[in-house]
Copies of this chain bind each other. A is one copy, B any other.
Amino acid sequence: MTAALRGLLHAPPPVVAVGATVLADALAEQAVPHVRVDWRPPPAGTEDALARLAADPRRASANAEAVRRMLAAGATLVDVRPAADLVDLAPGQFCHAGPPLDWSAASGPMRGALIGAMLLEGLADSPDDAQAQLARGRLHNGRPIELFPCHEKGGVGPMAGVVSPSMWAWELRDETHGTAAWCTLNEGLGKVLRYGAYAPEVIDRLRWMAAVLGPALAGGVRAAGPLDVKALVGQMVQMGDEGHNRNRAGTLLLLRDLLPSIVESLPAADAARVARFVGGNDHFFLNLVMAAGKLQSLAVGSIPGSTVVTVMARNGTEFGIQTAGTGGQWFTGPAGVADGLYLGAYGPRDANPDIGDSAITETIGLGGFSMATAPAIVRFVGGTVRDAWATTNRMYEITLAENPAYALPVLDFRGAPTAIDTTLVVRTGILPQINTGIAGRVAGTGQVGAGLVTPPLRCFVAALESLAARAPDG
């Protein structure tokens, strides 16, 4: 008899209660020591798809390749340019966050941001005029108004994610895979276009960003030379930023690296205003984290047989995901409303459903997935420090890798949980944790709070079924 078996017979039997809590509750009442394991069966109807994918001989190597590419992706800031150039947008063409959307399905903040973009581009005289043209789908000059998901134009946009030709954007490159991605410049918090506000102050700020800030940053980047954004993200996660709702350290590191060159190339008054604008906006670096995330997603691209999630994005109405095994196909479900803390007198009734491409941060292991590294954020989105650790630990259960480039000090430098596996999400019922800003649901409001939200499970079930349908017959 082995020592282990002897122990089993000579000691009281250990009890492990898996899933339903009836047994565990009864044991607790009888003071019997036991271990609870959280488990629930996969949703009814997914068993066949899960079995089919488990048997797919391509899956292990396809997922390994997806992980390899996601972790190998670089992110270098190479330029700052107007979207007219960088995204190849013409007047009347706009990008937006999340999966495809038309005006009739657009939520308040998405409509507000589109109205603001029409005003910024000089395509409308008033918000009412802008709204009328958007609803009709045509500009006064008869040209069609076209809406594209940022993700389908090679970039990402926070919150409404509306991009129009005169907005400037960061241009990042992944030299490992030879790809590029963009993201707009961050406007700050409160009444800003990306939260659906379009008051004159919002448009004036965007005009200054196009006239002064964008060219100043472009000059700084060109003079300073390419900037390793991946390395900066690696540093920020050691400084209490999780890269979605907290970007303070990242913003300061960017300022440190760009400002000397900006100072040398700009009139002093402009350089000082740029320094104050960037330094006064703790979220300025978010847009660079997002572009770096988009590069990790692009690096994976399409890999037949891989169940890795490559995109999670919301348009304010629907939540959409993409996977490596299904390429550019969207799997959508209704966007939820974040649970969190509200600014001033705002409350849950003022909240729009979840919105923005910023969930690209969670898609690649930052944001809610790396909450453990940012205890200061828990006060901003509600919750405790222990909740933050538990969240990150839970995300390791649905991911395939740990990213050594984004090492979380508080977890003994364990890498951020990276590469969400569709089958693990469905099998465990553990949904990706996103921490996010909350937009007011009425167009023109702006930000009303920040909190925690998860995608609808149905996105993952739909992706799972599509992946299973593509699996070879066993």
Q: How many residues of chain A get a CB closer than 8 Å to chain B's CBs?
A: 33
Beyond known contacts A259-B259, A386-B412: 8 more, CB 8 A cutoff = A249-B249, A252-B252, A252-B256, A256-B275, A260-B272, A260-B273, A263-B275, A385-B409
Q: Please tell me if the beta carbons of A263 and B252 are within 8 angstroms of each other in the complex.
A: no
- CB of A279 within 8 Å of the partner chain: yes
Q: Which residues of B contact A384 (CB under 8 A)?
A: 412
Partner of A268 from B239, B268, B376 at Cβ < 8 Å: B268
- Rounded to whole angstroms, the CA-CA distance of A273 and B260 in the bound complex is 7
Q: Which residues of B contact A256 (CB under 8 A)?
A: 252, 255, 275, 279
Q: Mark A245-285, 1 if CB is under 8 A from B, else 0.
A: 00011001101110111011000110111011001000000
Contact sample, A vs B, 15 pairs, CB 8 Å cutoff:
A238-B375, A239-B240, A240-B240, A249-B252, A252-B256, A255-B256, A257-B279, A260-B273, A261-B272, A263-B268, A263-B271, A263-B272, A263-B275, A264-B268, A375-B410
Q: Shortest distance in angstroms between A283's beta carbon and chain B's nearest beta carbon?
A: 14
Partner of A264 from B239, B252, B269 at Cβ < 8 Å: B269
Q: Which residue from chain B places its CB closest to the CB of A270 in the assembled complex?
A: B263
Q: Which residue from chain B places its CB closest to the CB of A236 in the assembled complex?
A: B239
Q: Which residues of B contact A238 (CB under 8 A)?
A: 240, 375-376
Q: Which residues of B contact A248 (CB under 8 A)?
A: 239
Q: Which residues of B contact A271 (CB under 8 A)?
A: 263, 268
Q: Please tell me if the beta carbons of B249 and A275 are within 8 angstroms of each other in the complex.
A: no
Q: Which residues of B contact A410 (CB under 8 A)?
A: 375, 385, 410
- Rounded to whole angstroms, the CA-CA distance of A117 and B142 in the bound complex is 77
Q: Please tell me if the beta carbons of B275 and A260 are within 8 angstroms of each other in the complex.
A: yes
Q: Which residues of B contact A269 (CB under 8 A)?
A: 264
Interface residues of A in 197-230 (CB under 8 A from B): none
Q: Shortest distance in angstroms between A31's beta carbon and chain B's nearest beta carbon?
A: 11
- Rounded to whole angstroms, the CA-CA distance of A134 and B386 in the bound complex is 57
| With contact pairs A249-B249, A249-B252, A253-B252 given, residues A409 and B260 touching in the complex (Cβ less than 8 Å) | no
Q: Please tell me if the beta carbons of A249 and B239 are within 8 angstroms of each other in the complex.
A: yes
- Rounded to whole angstroms, the CA-CA distance of A252 and B413 in the bound complex is 23
Interface residues of A in 403-440 (CB under 8 A from B): 409-410, 412-413
Q: Shortest distance in angstroms between A228's beta carbon and chain B's nearest beta carbon?
A: 15
Q: Mark A52-90, 1 if CB is under 8 A from B, else 0.
A: 000000000000000000000000000000000000000
Q: Shortest distance in angstroms between A281's beta carbon and chain B's nearest beta carbon?
A: 11
Q: Which residue from chain B places its CB closest to the CB of A256 in the assembled complex?
A: B279
Q: Which residues of B contact A273 (CB under 8 A)?
A: 260
